[in-house]
Chain A
């Protein structure tokens, strides 16, 4: 169920004084079952990019393929595509609207035309997988805490059984433990369900820890597309784009400069710990 973008350009208000290229000739592939991160400063084209993944936006030029089919082809069923590629927007808890949690989660499956019984099964499974306790199923979504609401909103997309789950900054505004919980849950889902996860994030530490492929957007163009270790080795270029590497990258480079033989590619705390102990001969 891979998604492929082929020379995609998107221009806002073409031919007017406000013309702006939000995406410029972007080609990329999101392979099946991978955990993919997208980073870039505000206005770099991240959100425009993810809205192309399920056909919410139509490229000004270029093509988007899902499973090798052009999603803007003449007979392509884009409504169905949106059940396969689930998009969780920023602050998705603002989009909860039903009278209770479980009905809200059933909304997607209902639109898919599932029977009442199947909907409930899907909703219960999705809520369990994101860690929402059964005691909350019949509560109003507005009685829940911020972190719980966000889980319910993610469950609402999961209940459609998507092959690709796209999350736009799912941890914004959560406390540190809430951030770890949400990302841990998403990583677990990716493994259990074998789905592709696309994570838009501002946190270099988070992408370093979770993703296998990292796409960096800059002024509407794809600047890097590689495993995080490789991307972060270009930390000086990232800084020029208004980004940074994880704190670990800076620590490892500083140690190396002072003559300690550490792995400058270590990006997580565990990797850094290992490498420092090794370099000090404590392992």
Chain B
């Protein structure tokens, strides 16, 4: 069943010039059709101004389509009566952690959402507890959000959304303002929520490394949906992505460059382990070398770890 479904979604807005000039129409989203299944981890890519944020704002009725329909958990976002239900089902986390804090104490900040939904007090506290625990922020419940790091603030924002018991979290570049540690914390937290709670995650990002965990990737350009597929499928199109002002993970780029030089490496390599295995296969002419068997044999613990990570089709 689709939690999010767009049918020929279009969004136009008018830009007014000075002194009564005729307004110009901007087509921010054009003819987008997509379906997102419950429990999926989805990434949306696209350069600045490609329409990704505009599309995302349709997913919890912050914007309604000027053409076509957006369905959120079978509700049409055009229906004014359903807006509050929609926003409870689909929560949004924005880029700037400092813009989404409403309270001076972490636990009150997290309780703000359910309180607005009219949830009874006991239940609010239970939810606050629960969501702070799931985002790893329970130790900070009595802290002031201002004293937290960027990654911690974003996890508080995610806890605030979780406390509304949504089916879906939409995150618009949640890591853009964070350092590598903060980015890692936030991505780890949402991946955990996606796995353990089954929450649908829609992640908009410019960091290609964050995309490789997604079940499905959508690529936007000039308001249109131009590519969709698994990360491996999407990142197999290195040159097309560059034309769309996007990038691929560096390991994928290196594999692509070597492939162009005539090495027999598959397209769409996503991890260092995959890459190293592919190179070793080339060196050994397909067979596993004695040296490698020895290396693995000498350290059984390492072999277990490696076997875990390795893609069976490559060994």
Contacts and interface: CB of A to CB of B under 8 A. Distances in A.
Given A172-B177, A173-B173, A273 B257 contact: yes
A258 B295 contact: yes
A175 B276 contact: no
B56 to A, nearest CB: 15
Given A42-B150, A205-B250, A248-B250, A172 B276 contact: no
A61 interface: no
A176 B261 CA distance: 24
Nearest to A40: B179
B196 interface: no
A246 B251 CA distance: 10
A146 B276 CA distance: 38
Interface centre among A178, A243, A273 (most CB of B within 10 A): A273
A242 B149 contact: no
A42 B182 contact: yes
Nearest to B206: A175
Contact of B250 (A177, A247, A258, A260): A247
Interface stretch (B31-39, B58-66, B225-233, B279-287): B279-287
Interface stretch (B85-93, B118-126, B161-169, B241-249): B241-249
A242 B185 CA distance: 12
B210 to A, nearest CB: 12
B95 A173 contact: yes
B181 interface: yes
Interface string B48-60: 1100000000000
A147 interface: yes
A136 B95 CA distance: 28
Given A145-B48, A244-B180, A251 B275 contact: yes
B262 interface: yes
Interface string A32-67: 000000000111000000000000000000000000
A174 interface: yes
A260 B292 CA distance: 11
Interface residues of A toward B: which range?
35 or more
A273 B279 CA distance: 12
A175 B176 contact: no
Contacts of A178: 47-48, 245
Contacts, number: 103
B254 interface: yes
Contact of A172 (B176, B180, B283): B176
A147 B245 CA distance: 13
A177 B47 contact: yes
A175 B262 contact: no
Interface residues of B, number: 43
A202 B250 contact: no
A165 B291 CA distance: 51
Interface in A117-159: 145-147
Interface stretch (A21-29, A190-198, A216-224, A274-282): A274-282
B253 interface: yes
A259 interface: yes
A244 B254 CA distance: 19
Contacts of B206: 173-176
A247 B207 CA distance: 14
B250 A269 contact: yes
Contacts of A175: 46-48, 206, 245-246
Nearest to A208: B250
A250 B295 CA distance: 19
A102 interface: no
Contact of B253 (A43, A269, A276): A269
Nearest to A202: B179
Interface in A234-283: 242-244, 246-248, 250-251, 254-255, 258-260, 269, 272-273, 276-277, 280, 282
7 contacts: A42-B150, A42-B181, A146-B48, A172-B177, A177-B47, A247-B250, A260-B283
